[in-house]
Amino acid sequence: MSSLVESFARHLTRIDVAAAALFVVLLASIVSRRASSRRVKTTKLNGPKGKNPIVGLFPTLLRSENPAALIEGWVKEFGPVFSLPMGLGRTNVTITDVKAASHFLARDTGVYHQTGLAKIFIENLFGRGLLWAEEDDHRRQRKALTPAFSVSATRSYLSVFYDSAYKIKSNWETLLDNGSRMVEVQSWMNHASLDDLGIAGFGHDFGALDGKDPEVIKIFEAFERPESSGWVSKVLFILGPAFPILQRLPARHNRTMKRIKSSMAAVADMILVPSGRKGSGAADADQAKSIDKSIMGLLVKAETASNGLSMSEEEVLAQNTLLFAGYETTSISLTWALIELSRHQDKQTALREEFAQFEGRDPTWEELSGLPYLNSITQEVLRLHPPLPNINRTATEDDVIPLSNPITTAAGETTTQLVVAKGTTVACPIAFINQSEELWGPDAKEFKPERWIEGADGKDGIGAGAKAIQGYHHLLTFSDGPRLCLGRNFAIGNFKATLSVLIRNFSFELPDGVVTKIGSHRGILARPKLEGQNGPKVPLIVKRIE
């Protein structure tokens, strides 16, 4: 017998050993889960079945190009609250009921925390900043950050947004003069967002719109490529919800995240250098002044506050999440705006006509905020194309979630509330809620900015169902509750200023007209792409407005 074992052992590869070890860990986890008994049980719900007992429907959700459509099919079959198998005996609860969603989001950072996978992912990429923090730490950091993201603070960055937009204009005019007909707009939105966040956020100009090739954008773009993750990384990520600790292994995607974190930290670290450099020359003085006015500069002041809200150096550096969050979300939203306006030429013309009143000058912050059609375009893009389609949290204690309407459980019982046991993961699919026909009407999936504009009777086209949503303009794009996006004013101001310059100076068309197919490119966040393009590329026909 021993010789057979020795012979078998000699033929084992490292992969065999790793697979066996992983199997033992999985088995131990299942046994542990089944052995544990809890007094409170999550309400048993109906829902789709997973074909794979190890990973459940997690890969299906990851691969979906249209998560809202996927959720819509399940809502039609199982109702507004249902369960999703995530493998290894784990079941997530998905809530699309507005009353339930409001309760859930209101208790974020308290009863509900980031999932174990998200916590490690965020820490690996950004550190222990606002996005990572919970409860008292979250409240303290958010309170310290709030002044830097106020409307008055954000208004001061408008000139930064316009400067970047005019750099895009200059570059595009050069391309058109040289005979180009198509412009790949998404890469330009990326560069503008990076420069805006660099200057306004850190007092640092990355120079992406000036032709520089900063290391941080190389790393961001590398992370967007599928080949940046080997098969080991993909397997570890698929198993991540069950075993978050696997995300600490030195797989390729984890090494890439650490490169992003180091690159952003290097920029943020410059702000923590003693301010004595201000007197060392004109250039240094200008840079120091720019840093003082930046978001991170304001955070350094908060670090030395004596009101109990100060942040450690590690926490200040970890707020570099704003660079990534702003870079990704603003560029995605601007790209979608140009796509939708290319699809709907009449709406593009209407927006351009609204800007005609500002001949020879740029709108002020107050004027941008007071333009009805620009506001409606902004809100409709945010409604149909939220950069983050889903919010997942894990209950840290037992909870009871109220429902708008009664549901029938898997046991055939009728209930008006949902019991959630400690340790249960709850998902709120904001992309679906933002375009639910039950809430927004039969035209919910259409790009219809006019729904936001009040008529002569003082009423808009937003139904009572949608108005029950408590988020920003009845949207959950910026989340809600304690985690309501702190940078929403910054993002919206950036979006409006950039779009105002582009629409006043250029017209946009899709390469094949309205039949042009738009796909989805999977990176950290889903980005639009024209079908047939290699990577997240959106080439549009761009013409100068004479």
Residues at the binding site for heme are 485
A 10 A CB-CB count for 142 gives 18
**What is the Cα–Cα distance from 8 to 295, expressed in whole angstroms?**
61
| Core vs surface per residue 395-430: b (16+ CB within 10 A) or e | bbebbebebeeebebeeeeeeeebbbbeebbbbbbb
Phi-psi category of residue 90: left, alpha or beta, with phi > 0 → left and psi -120 to 50 → alpha: beta
Please give the DSSP secondary-structure letter assigned to residue 202.
Answer: I
Long-range contacts made by residues 223-229, C-beta under 8 angstroms, separation at least 24?
223/253, 223/256, 223/257, 223/260, 223/523, 223/524, 224/521, 224/523, 224/524, 224/527, 224/535, 224/536, 225/535, 226/522, 228/252, 228/253, 228/256, 229/253
Please give the DSSP secondary-structure letter assigned to residue 108.
Answer: B
Type of residue numbered 354: E
- Please name the residues in contact with 97: beta carbons below 8 A apart, sequence gap of 6 or more: 80, 81, 403, 404, 405
Q: Angle at CA 41, nearest 5°, toward 35 and 47?
A: 100
**What is the Cα–Cα distance from 115 to 286, expressed in whole angstroms?**
43
In DSSP terms, which residues pair with 402 in a beta bridge? Answer: 417
Please enumerate, by residue number, every residue annotated as part of a binding site.
Answer: 485
Q: Angle at CA 472, nearest 5°, toward 470 and 477?
A: 100
